[in-house]
Each structure stands twice: as structure tokens, then as C-alpha cells.
Structure 1
Amino acid sequence: MTLLQTRTVATSKISRIEIIALLAVLSLTALLNFLFLSQNGFGNSYYAAAVKSMLVSWKNFFYVSFDAAGFISIDKPPLGLWIQATSALLFGFNGFSLMLPQALAGVGSVAILYFLVRKAAGVVAGFIAATLLAISPINVVTNRSNILESLVVLTVLLATWAILRSIEQRSLSWLLVGGAFIGIGFNIKGLETWLVVPVLIATYLFGVQLAWRIRFLNLGLMLLVIICVSLVWIVAVDLTPAPQRPYVDSTLTNSEFDLTFNYNGTQRLFGEPSYGGKPPVIKHDKGDPGPIRLFQPPLASQIGWFLPFALLSLMAGLWKVDWGNLRQSLKRRYLSQSQYSLLLWGGWLITAGSFFSVALRFNQYYMAVFAPATCALVGCGVVSLWRDMAIPTWRGWLLVVAFGATALEQVIIMTGFPDWNNWQLPLLIALCVTGVLLLGAMRILLLRNPPQKHLKVISAITLVTLLLVPLWWVSVSLTPNNGGEFPLSGPNPIQQGNFIVPKPDQTLLDFLNANSTNERFFIATSSIEDAGSIALATDKAVMAMGGYSGYAAILTPQSLAARVKAGEVKLFLIPVSNLQESQAQALYSQEIAATGNPFVTSYTNALTRWISDNCQPITPNQWQTTPQLLKMQLYKCNP
């Protein structure tokens, strides 16, 4: 038997007990996704502000404009934000309505993964895989955010389901449906969805019982569907004359193709180049690129709790392959279900894992798309390796080794966060070690033929102890103040790199309202965080002069001067480092301490320098509740 074969053949008929157990797993998923969900505020202010602006007009909706005036779009495809905007339209604009689609997608993903694994490896494997995905730390926090990864995971699993059905039924229609789902996922998060396309192609190519010519022809049609569905919106935007749409954020060319395949493509893998001497921005410490990166606490704390088990399951599955049977499969020109299932989940794990091991620029929450393969391999591996424990050879120790390696990794992760609660850490470590020791002792006794039911009980206890650790880790994410720009699971997310944008000072808002005379833009700023927070606190258009990263070539000093002269904008919030010496001394006396701003680049520096040369800084006590030297300074420009 191979890794993905079980003693009980999975059937399409579902028993009452199985339905109850599945509902229990889905209820756990819903509880983790929805409990105290509204306490996370708006989540990522960049996306939230865009959804609010998209509700202003159909033009803003179609082009996913960041601001109500249609000045600049956001740096992602539209579909995920369209879904959030629809939710906000139905249930009102608030944090809960923005996060509702992702929370529901998380529940759907668990259900789909269960049925995918159940079909290939049986009910027990399906439940283990589904439970692991339900408590996967990075997936839980993305399900509780307006970040789009949960929708990506759902669409990729739907594509997998459709392509596996096409293999079983030798159906071109289902294959094309799978390609359409990949294209839909692309319109949610771009190239991230395409990570699994090579694996899905290989699974179909070697799994379907058709002539090779038909296989390649069908795959060619699927790729055509993927390309057409993926690129239809990008082409529509780029064919629209630039003056008739928002500027494409995070690009120098105002092109969605540039955004997709450069900023959100090659730069994710090779790193962000320097723009005008600006060094690449690193938001989080993700560890040094290399083969052990995913096992180190910064990334492992989000996704690596059962990664050693998944890898050992994959290696054991490859080792246990009946090579004679495999040669027969190749001779008849197609793989069995267990063989192509191993190809699917193993290929997914290796492909996604390789990317995150070497990529230079990504956020930890991107790894949510990595979780389904890990969970599936663990579910299948537990069932297969447990059966091997009855074999009086070294293979009988594989389950103990897999659990032991997993426990060791969990201890490494936990010890990477020494400030965590003192009593939690020793307790969880003790649970891990005790479970593995019990299983090892049972293996030794098994050689003397103890009852099999004892082995089942001890194996279940060991698995549960290892599940408790990430579940406890996830529970920390349910506490207040765990929303933010970059969702991270576990204790001290702010210290790990996630930060929450504070609400704008009410004194600032009062000043802006008092000095606004119906300009097109309520205020302009070089900080995307300030732009988002002000937009969320008001119903006004806020100009983000350099876009999200600060280097979008939207304006020049000359074009900004023309906008000021035309009365489009007159109030600017820019880095205090742009204050002239005389201005700083007049405003802050001896407290001068220019702090700069990480989002300022050569483009926004040129703009902010023009502002400081041509506009009047506002006395701090007019727009600050407690006047003090801050990172930003308010200016007023008269036409």
C-alpha cells in the first residue's frame, strides 16, 4: 500500500456519524474565524479605504480606486475587493462586513479539503487534514482579516476539486472549470494563484486515462482558459486611456501588466530594486533564504507546526511506492488515484515551499496557500504510518519519528518567543514530549503483540497533544488588538512586525474640516497609512501622492503645482524632515529632530520639497491635540 491508501475504501456515501463529526470540525472553524471578529477594526487600512472609495461610484469600483476621487488604484487585482465591497453594500461599511467573505471562505476551504483527502485516503485522513487546516495559525488570522489569502485558498482548492473530477470522469468540461477557478484566483491575488498550476498540470497529465494527444490538447485548452480569465481585467484597464482611470499604484509605467508581473511578480522572488537610492523595504524578519527557512520561528510560527510530519509523510510515501506497480502504471500510461494524489499534494508542498524558502520579498500571510498541502500530507501520513507500527522492522518506528520531529519543531518555535506566558510554555512542551514518549513506549510493547486498540488510543493522544500547541497559539489571535496591516499569528504580533494604524487625531480632522472649501482632495500626504486612516475616518478623498510604496510616478512638482493652482488640493501632511531650518525653529524651537519617513522616495521627496518651499507650515497647536514633534508636518498651500 502507498501513503494515500487506507484499509477502508472511501466511498461517496456519508454516514450519520461522519456528518456529525464534519459539522463539529466546521463549527470549530467557524468559531475560530468569527469569534470576536468585529474587534479587529478595519484590518488592513489600505484595502479598507479602497473598498470605501469603491462604494462611491461604479468607476471607482471597476478600477479598485484607493481614493474617492479616483486618483490612484490599489496594487492588487479587483475580484477580492469587489467581493468585500459587495458585502459592505449589503451589510453596511464596517470591519465585520469586510472580513465576512474571508471568514466564510475559511470554512469552505476546510470542507473542500476534507472531501478531497477523504476521497483519496479515507475518512480519518480527511478529518485530520480538515482539522489541521481549521487551526492552521496563518490561515486563522487571514480568515479573520480583510487580507485576500483566504479567498485565494478557496479558489485554488475549488480548482483542484474540479481537475480531480475531470481526471475521474475524463471530462474536458471539468478541466476547463478548474482552469476558470485558477483565473478567478488570479483576479484575487495575481501570480500567487499560479504557484500550483504546474502541479495541477502534472497531476492531470499523468492521472487521466486518455491518449497523450488528447491530454495535451485538453491541457492546452485549460491553459487558454486560465490566460483569458486571468488577464481579461488587466487588458481592459491597460487599454483604457490613462486620463480616464486611476493611476496604477506601485508602478513607474501606469500599467497593470507591470504591476502584476514586475512589482507583484519578479520583485516578490528577487526583491525590490532601488529607486533613486531608496533601499528595499523589509517589513518583517523572515529568516535567511535557504532550505531551513521554513523551520525557523519567524515563518514556522505561522505555518511550520506540522511541516516535519508532512515532509516525512511525503518521503515515506515515495519510499513505500510499489515500484513494480508504478512501472505497470507508466506502461499503461496513467497513474492510480493514490499515485497521482501523492503527486498532487507532494508537488504542491515542494513548489510552494521552494518559493517561500528563497523569495526575498513577501509577507508571512502569503503562506496561507501553502497550508492545504501540508495538512493533506499529514492526514494521509498519520493513517499510513500508524498501520506500519505493526511491522517488526524499522518502518514501524516511522510514526514515532514523525511525531518526535514534529514535537521538536514545535518546541523550537515556542522557545523562539521567550516572552510568552511562563506557565504556558513549559506545559505545552511537556505535552509534546509526553505524547511522543508514550507512543514510543507503545511501539516497544507492540513488538510483544498488545491489543491494537491500545495503540490507537495512544496514537490519538499523541496527535491531540501536538494539535493543542498550535490551537493554543491560535487562541492568542482571538484576543483584542490583533488586527492590523499584516496579520500574524501568535503572541506579540506587533513585535513580530504587524502594526495597527492609529486613528487620526480628532484635532487634525477638525482643522481639516474647518479649512476645507470643497477641494477635490480633503488632504494630500506621502504616507499611505495616514491616507488610509483619514479616508476611513471621513467621507473625503485623500491623495496618496506616491502610492503605497511611495515611488509611483504619478506627480511631478510641476503637475502638483498645477493642481494646487487649480484649487484641487491645498492641505498637505508630509514628513517633518522636509521643514526648512527657519520653519522648524519657528514651530518647534530647540526640539528639532527630523525623523524621516520610510515611505519617502525620490519622487515624494521632490514633491515634499516643493511643498516646503512654496507652502506655509501650520502651527502645531492648531492641528495636534498635544503639540509635539512628530514624524509628520501639516502645510497649507494657497492657490
Structure 2
Amino acid sequence: MTATADRTDVLDAPASDSTPRTRNRWPAVALTGLLIATTALYLWNLPINGYGNTFYTAAAQSGAKSWSAWFFGSLDPNNFITVDKPPASLWVTGLSVRLFGMNSWAVLVPQAVMGVAAVAVLYATMRRIITDPTRGPIAGLIAGSVLALTPAATLMFRYNNPDALMVLLMVAAAYFLVRAIPGASWRWLTLVGIALGLAFLTKMLEGLMVLPAFALAYLLFAPTTWQRRAPHLLSAAVALVISGGWWVAVVQLWPAGSRPYIGGSTNNTVLDLAWGYNGLNRIVGGGNAVSHGHPGGWTTHAGVLRIFSAEMGYEASWLLPAAVVAIVTGVCLALRRRLTRIEAAGFTMWSVWLVVYTLVFSYMTGMVHPYYTIALAPAAGALIGMAAVRSRSAAVVMVLAAAAWAVVLLHRARLGPASTDWFIAGAAAAAVLLLVALTRWPRLTPVALAASLLAGLTGTAMFSVATAATPHNGSIPNAAHTADVWPTVGSRFAKTMMMGASSSNVDPQLAQLLASAHTPWSAATSGSQAAASLEIASGTAVMAIGGWSSDPVPTLAQFIDDVHAQKIAFFIDSGRMRSHDRNGGEIADWVQQHFRPMKVGAATVYRLV
């Protein structure tokens, strides 16, 4: 490929007979159409997901009932234990449930709003990078479309995992950085730090993996001396520490006896949660992290093929071949000095962002889930948009790469009729011919752009629509049901660990029994998933023995004291005792020795008071 700037090195302006008013208006009209379509995709039939991830839904319900539970991100309103993530995303859903009541829309709509906002902010970021009044909007529309139609994005922006807020904050940080670089503004750079600090309070380490990309872009391209760039970055670092660290400091200083146990930690501290369970353990394994693989051809084993294979391939890889072409294009244009300062900074930022996340997701040996790959979508979309408007040669190659890989993935998933392959191939051929013809007939630009988008986005759009049409629940959702014969990570977990993943699984008689309790905790049960379902169904506080990942609370002595103090009405055998959950096993044995079981529906229940 020759990634050079052609004589007409961008998609040209609309037809010359358009009035100035029309030329000025079309970006706003196009953006409005993109945002409306994105909103429709993310809100369409949203209640099919029910309460989504009941683990986080129960915490949102608890936050709506108790401000202290809201602040800590507690699973139950009486603050026994927190969820395994910091609470920023729960602050949003908790407020939504407090305002609009406990229902599916109140839990899931905030994530859809975040998705639409992320698309809009990415568009605005591209307009700042590509300052040309025609090229900028086209780059922004391409970038926004890629983000909106990436299946992992469709999945997460219709779900209540923390990833939706994390991505919105990272894209907002990119916008602030693009505002900071042209004027070497430490004020805008400080906003970058604040946004990333909030991303840390959303999902900890994953929200900070953009730091190398941002720091490098500012160091290389801010138009000021090296002596000033370092203090500017220091101000951003201080802002990050303050915005991301204030909550950590408050929790660390709070007396442990009067706050919930920090779920996922080994020593009841947020720092251990950040650096352990939600930090290095995710990347290199250890602690409670678990690595999953499959011996088949498409595997989740660590390696460069992971991001293109199995569920990760379906959720995020549709446009990655085109993004690789875009990175090469950026390098070639930079070497030929054909980029402005802010364009070079943009290529650097997005390229390093994409490479860092791709390498981490490909080679991490700790706990890895396919939906993490939503973090790739903004960078992939931005790179493709920039390369498309800076080099027609690159646009041709990206169309061919995206179309070819889409055909492969659709065939592998057996999604859609066979004629879809021919449609994509025909659109790609038409797009290439039109792109080549732009040198002589620039008025064909809108048609060339439409054909290119059809060829490049049809596959990912089909899979995103299929994702939106697929009901999701549990903590590890997958994008869409496919014809793959290998068991996805999500299906394996659904069969082995996700018992009680939905409140609809709770017997109404059991929910009514718990609702009649007058103790601080209506019941205790093993594991946060089972406790969460019981909380949602009954509207009561349920003690999650062992938390999410065999946390060492409560001890047998603590549980006995709570029973004698009449703080727990019932013990429910969830059937989820695990051999390594020592505390939970001891508590279950003690309950079985001292209380008689009774059947409530299909559940085995012990009355403790």
C-alpha cells in the first residue's frame, strides 16, 4: 500500500452547486441523524435485558435506599460488603433508581445515554483534530459510526456494567487533550486528569491504560518548551490523583468497623482492590483471577490471535484490519511531513491507545472477558476516520480490508443470508471504483462515502443489531448468539457460576417470606450473585457470605454473633458453596447443625430467628 496524500488526498467537499448555507448545515444534519440512529439502536427493546447484571442492579437499588450504601457502592443497603468495583457508575444508576423507581429502564437507560454522549464527544474530538470544515465532519461521522456500531459497544451501552461510563470518560479525556495541545494549555490538560481520575473510580486500572497515549501526544506536540511540558503534565497528574483518589482516601481513613467490607480485596482496603483484583491480577493472573481458554482453533489463549478470534473477534475486531491500515497511513504521512501538529498528535494518541489495549487484551493471563474490548472502539473509529480523509489510497485499502474481514466473520458466525457476502463485496467494489473516480468527478464524493460505509460497516452493523435483539443477563454477557461450536467464556460461566443470575429465578413465595422479615438482613446466602437476586426480588437487604469471590467475611464467629443478635432472619442454601470458600462452608455446616431446613418453592431455607 502507498499511504501518501494524493492530489485530491481527502474525500472532497459536497457538490459545488450547493449553497454556502447548505454546506454549513449538512454536518449538523448528519450528526443529528447519527445520534438518532445510535439512540434507537441502544434503546430498542431495551427491557429484554431485564435488570441486566443483577450484581450491580442490587447495588443500585441499595444506593437508592441508603446514601451511605450509594457512597460506598454496597451490595446491600445495610453496608455488609461492596461490589468488586469502585462506585462511580453505581452513583449514576443509584440516582436514576432513586428518581425513577426500581425498574429496568431506570437501570439501563443511563448506559444508553452514555453511549450516545460518547459518540457525540468523539465526533467533536475529530472536528478539533481535522480542522477542515468538510473533512472534519466526515472524519467525525466515520469515527462515531464505528464506535456506535461496534458490537461490544452496543452490548455495553445497553447494559449496566461499568464499561459504559468508563468509555465515555476516556473519550471526554481525549477531547480535553485535543483542546489542550494546540495552545499548550495546562487548564485543559487538568481536565484530562480529572476525567481519567473519574475513569479510575469507574473501573480502576482499565480506565488508566490510555495514560501512555495521552502523555506521549502532549510531550511530542504541545507547542511549548520541554521545561513547561513537564509541569503541565504534573498538573494533570495531580488532578488525576485528586479526582480519583479522594474517594479512596475517605474509605481508607474510614473506620473499618463502621463501613462495608471492600469486596474483591484480600485485606479490606481499596488499594488492594485497585492493585490486586482490579489491577495486576487481571493482567498477569494471581489472586482471584482466573484464565480461561479452549483447545480449539479459535481460542481465548493469550496471543496475538485472541483479539481476532472467538467472542473477542465478534465483539471488536470488525474494523481492526482497517485500523491497522490507518496506523500505517499515519506513520507514512508523518514521515512525509504531510500532517499538521494536531493531526500528528491525534494519530499518535489514537494509535498508542489502540496498540496498548490490543496488546493487553491479547496477552493478559488473568481474568479476561470479551466485552472489555469496548475500549478499542473509540480509537479504531478515530484512526479510520482520520486516515479516510487524509489519503484516498488508504481509504481504498481500508474498505477492502474491512469488507474482507466482515465476510470472514459473518461466515464464521453464520449470521444473515449468504447473499450478504455478495452485497458487501459489491459495495466494496463500487466504493473502490468511486474513490478512484473522485479525481475527475469530485461531485461523486457523497456516493463514494455512502458506498464505503456500506462496505465497511454492514458486517459490524448486522452483528450489533443481532446483539441488540439478544436478551442478556448475568455478569459476563456475550454480544449475540452465534453458530460457533466452541463454548464462549460467557456460556461457560453461565453454566458453572451464575446460578441465580436473574431476579426472575427467585420463587415468589421466597421473595414474600424475605419481605416479611423485620431484621436488618432478611437473609444470608452464599455469594453476591445469589444475594443480589434475592435483594431485587424481595426489596430487602441480604447478607452475601463470601461476597463475589470468596471474600473472607463474615467469619463463623461474626455470623454466630449476628444470628444471636437477631440481625438475620433466614439462611438460604444457594447450592453454590465452593471448596475454597472456607468461611462459607463453615457457616453452612453450623447452620445445618443447629437449625431445621424447610422448603420454600425449590429453595432450602433455615429460619434463624
TM-score, normalised via structure 1 length:
0.83
Distance apart, 1:350 and its partner CA: 0.6
Aligned counterparts of 1:232 and 1:70: Cα–Cα separation in 2: 20
Question: What's the % identity of the aligned pairs?
Answer: 26
Read off the aligned partner of 1:356 and give its amino acid letter.
F
- Once the two structures are overlaid, the 10-residue window that deviates more, 44-53 or 130-139, is 130-139
Which residue number in structure 2 is paired with residue 485 of structure 1? 475
Residue type at the aligned position of 2:342: Q
For residue 520 of structure 1, what is the aligned residue in structure 2? 520
- Selected match of 2:65 from 56, 64, 76: 56
Select between 134-143 and 609-618 the one with higher mean Cα deviation: 609-618
| 2:582 corresponds to which of 576, 579, 602 | 602
How many angstroms does 1:99 deviate by?
1.9
Distance 2:588 2:455 in 1: 56
Q: Which amino acid aligns with 2:154?
A: V
Kept in 2: contact 1:42–1:95 (CA 8 A):
yes
**Which residue number corresponds to residue 198 of structure 1?**
212
Helix, strand or coil for the counterpart of 2:468?
coil
Mapped partners of 1:238, 1:439: distance in 2: 58
1:451-506 Cα offsets, whole Å, 9 max, x none, are 55568745632431331222121112333623443333223599742655243011
Q: Partner of 1:635 in structure 2?
A: 606
CA distance in 1, matches of 2:387, 2:277: 38
1:289 lines up with 2:289 in the alignment: no
Report whether the alignment pairs 1:366 with 2:372: yes
Unaligned runs of 5+ in 2: 14-21, 131-135, 495-500
1:195-250 CA-partner distances (Å, limit 9, x unpaired): 10111111111111111111111111211111121111011101111111011111
Aligned residue identity for 1:256? V
- Equivalent of 1:257, from 260, 267, 271? 271
Selected match of 2:511 from 509, 512, 529:
509
- In 2, the alpha carbon distance for the partners of 1:238 and 1:599 equals 31
Counterpart amino acid of 1:280?
A: V
- Contact 1:272 1:281 survives alignment (8 Å): no
Contact 1:28 1:134 in 2 (8 A): no
Aligned residue type for 1:636: R
Quote the Cα distance in structure 2 between the aligned partners of 1:101 and 1:33: 11
Match of residue 399 from structure 2: 403
CA distance in 2, matches of 1:599, 1:229: 40
Match of 2:35 in 1: 26
Q: Which residue of 1 is the match for residue 382 of structure 2?
A: 376
Distance 1:602 1:492 in 2: 38
Shift of 1:526: 0.7
Where 1:477 maps in the other structure, the secondary structure is helix
CA 1:22–1:62: 2 relative to 1, 3 Å:
same
Structure 1 residue 32 displacement after superposition: 1.0
Find the partner of 2:600 among 623, 627, 631.
623
What corresponds to 2:108 in structure 1?
Answer: 99
Q: Secondary structure at the match of 1:524?
A: strand
**Structure 1 match to 2:233:** 219
Alpha-carbon distance in 1 for matches of 2:23, 2:375: 28
Amino acid corresponding to residue 76 of structure 2 in structure 1 = D
Residue 472 of structure 1, aligned match among 430, 445, 462: 462
Inter-CA distance 493–325: structure 2 relative to 1 (3 Å threshold): closer
Q: Is the 2:321–2:398 Cα contact (8 Å) retained in structure 1? A: yes
Unpaired runs of 5+ in structure 1? 327-334, 389-397, 577-595
Cα contact 1:286–1:299 (8 A) shared by 2? no
Alpha-carbon distance between aligned partners in 2 of 1:39 and 1:446, rounded to the nearest angstrom:
46
What CA distance in whole angstroms lies between the structure 2 residues aligned with 1:355 and 1:316? 23
Letter in 2 for 1:555: P
Separation in 2 of the partners of 1:346 and 1:509? 51
Give the distance between the partners of 2:364 and 2:89, measured in 1 at CA.
24
Is the partner of 1:523 in helix, strand or coil? strand
1:38 to 47, 50, 54: 47
In the other structure, the counterpart of 2:17 is none
Out of 109, 128, 137, the position equivalent to 1:119 is: 128
User: Contact conserved, 1:2 with 1:321, CA < 8 A, in 2?
Assistant: no
CA-CA distance at 1:66 after TM superposition: 0.7
Contact 2:154-2:468 at 8 Å conserved across structures? no
The size of the alignment, in residue pairs, is 578
Worse-matched range after superposition: 477-486 or 132-141: 477-486
How far apart are residue 407 of structure 1 and its match?
A: 2.5
Matches within 5 A, 1:239-318: 239-273=253-287, 280=290, 282=292, 287-318=300-331
Q: What is the CA distance between 1:399 and its match in structure 2?
A: 4.3
Residues 59 and 83, structure 2, Cα contact 8 Å, conserved in 1: yes
Structure 1 residue 16 displacement after superposition: 1.1
Q: What per-residue deviation string (whole Å, max 9, x for no partner) do you get for residues 277-319 of structure 1?
A: xx93759997111112111131011111111000111112212
Aligned to 1:591: none
Q: Secondary structure at the match of 2:378?
A: helix
